[in-house]
Amino acid sequence: MKPLRLGVFASGRGSNFAAILAAIDGRRLNASVDVLISNDPAAGALETARARGVRAETVSSAGFDSRDAFVSRLTEVLRESGAGFIALAGYMKRVPPEVVALYPGRIVNIHPALLPAFGGKGMYGRHVHEAVIRQGCKVTGVTVHLVDEQYDRGPILAQRCVPVLPGDTAETLAGRVLETEHSLYPEVLQAFAEGRVRIRGGIAFIE
């Protein structure tokens, strides 16, 4: 099996990106990260990429005169890198439909809750965990799903539960969920690397 050639998109600190790199180092994930793309020049993920010798690019719609120019730069960076698969790791922007169309069934995202609950607009970062706690949920978790044109809506690839404990704050819960994210994301990517992902009738399965 050929290694999965990844483009990772991240807007923030990039702990999931770091977990992907660690899984590659530890030979739990047969992949290379060929480019890290961020919309935010201050993203910690860019620093991690540079420190690791991974090509790091800031591509922000704010830096272009037109949407078309932004999308063509994004696709150019991806094409030049040779990445054949995209992993969103805390990417706060919507992936342009043109890019989704170029990578059909080959873009995945990780979400810190059990979708379709606690997903969609406004459900990111601490907002997710606050909503879970406010609702009195006893379990939450992690979802890895395929990305299509809608927020948090593509076929679910894998989910893992995380308990909500009495006295949890958004921070303590986020920390527990994040640990699970760091193990689940590389596992799902490895399933793609091994060709174990099937989609039938809009439903995704890992064999």
Q: Which residues are known catalytic residues? A: 111
Question: How many Å apart are CA 71 and CA 51, to the nearest integer?
Answer: 27
Considering the rule CB under 6 A, would residue 111 count as an interface residue with ligand GRF? Answer: yes
Considering the rule CB under 6 A, would residue 154 count as an interface residue with ligand GRF? Answer: no
Q: How many CB atoms lie within 10 A of CB 84?
A: 15
Site string for ligand GRF, 163-202 (x = CB under 6 A): ---------------x--x---------------------
Burial class (CB in 10 A: 0-12, 13-18, 19+), 51: exposed
Question: How many Å apart are CA 92 and CA 108, to the nearest integer?
Answer: 14
From 9, 16, 39, 57, residue interacting with ligand GRF (rule: CB under 6 A): 16
The torsion defined by the Cα of 25, 40, 58 and 6, in degrees rounded to 10, comes to 30
From 6, 9, 12, 184, residue interacting with ligand GRF (rule: CB under 6 A): 12
Residue type, 88: L
From 21, 49, 78, 90, residue interacting with ligand GRF (rule: CB under 6 A): 90
Considering the rule CB under 6 A, would residue 119 count as an interface residue with ligand GRF? Answer: no
Helix (H, G, I), strand (E, B) or coil at 150: coil
CB closer to ligand GRF out of 25 and 68: 25
* Residues at the contact surface with ligand GRF, assessed by CB under 6 A: 10, 12-16, 89-90, 110-112, 178, 181
